Amino acid sequence: MNLDRFSINQMTVKQLALPELVEHCLRLGVPGIGLWREPVQEYGVEAAAALVRDAGLTVTTLCRGGFFTTDGWEAENRAAIDEAVTLGTDTLVLVSGGLTPACPDLLSARARITEAIAELAPYASDRGIRLAIEPLHPMYASDRCAVSTLDQALEIAERFPAEQVGVTVDTYHLWWDDRAPAAVERAGVTGRIHSFQLADWTTPLPAGVLNGRGQLGTGAIDLAAWAALLEKAGYTGPVEVELFNDELWARDGVEVLEETLEAFRAV
């Protein structure tokens, strides 16, 4: 794929401090960056905003709001929206939350998630922020995200205007689902693809299954077919590479960044 739509999610090379990451993005011609709340907060939200703005980088997303099934979600998500505004992105990615004592099953969790988004969407919209519900792989259904398929995410998103609430399409989470291609098309036609993220599927999965997102081209997913699917659905926005991977994190961050660019080009 062409580099002009490439965005590097900060977590892919979390071993790099933000100024270093920005410096190498400029050197390598990387046009976009996806930011995470925790490292941005550590660096300082205003300072991070100035850094990426001065570098001319597009902040493609802020990750992440959500966890609506946990107490305190409302203040936390309003803060995330405010940070998104400061950082100059238009998209907040939502990882919606899993089962909790208040929402002990998937249906009640999804009901809570829908209510929470109804509450937040106008607040976000007033500030120019789109919410992007991210369906997570079913292996996270109990502890991170009761929204497991793109169909489920769309079912929630479609209750709201498309410019307020859409979805994140992440190959790692959706590649296995034979219903995903039709859902991508539906999401594209209705203008609801607010983020497109790439990672490859590699096994064996690590304990906890969080940090096994594979480098592009090293796993089971036909990423070129996914890129073609999104194109066919009319998606022309940034393509963010988001890897959580202990092996990549143990290596030199600049080397991983350069390798990720090459892997992206090769898709």
Positions in the binding site for a second copy (CB under 8 A): 99, 105-106, 137-139, 141-143, 148-149, 152, 175-178, 201, 203-209, 219-220, 222
Apex 214 CA angle, 209 and 218, nearest 5: 140
In angstroms, give the least distance from the CB of 138 to a second copy.
Answer: 4
Residue listed under structure tokens 């998500």: 77
Considering the complex, state which of residue 6 and residue 175 has its C-beta at the smaller distance from a second copy: 175
In angstroms, give the least distance from the CB of 176 to a second copy.
Answer: 4
Tokens of 191: 């203008």
In angstroms, give the least distance from the CB of 72 to a second copy.
Answer: 21
In angstroms, give the least distance from the CB of 85 to a second copy.
Answer: 34
Q: What are phi and psi of 131, to 5 degrees?
A: -95, 135
Please report how many Cα atoms fall inside a 13 Å half-sphere around the Cα of residue 231, on the Cβ side.
9
Considering the complex, state which of residue 177 and residue 247 has its C-beta at the smaller distance from a second copy: 177
In angstroms, give the least distance from the CB of 207 to a second copy.
Answer: 4
In angstroms, give the least distance from the CB of 47 to a second copy.
Answer: 35
Q: Is the dihedral of CA 63, 175, 195, 125 positive or negative?
A: negative
Considering the complex, state which of residue 166 and residue 219 has its C-beta at the smaller distance from a second copy: 219
CA gap 156, 133 in Å, rounded? 8
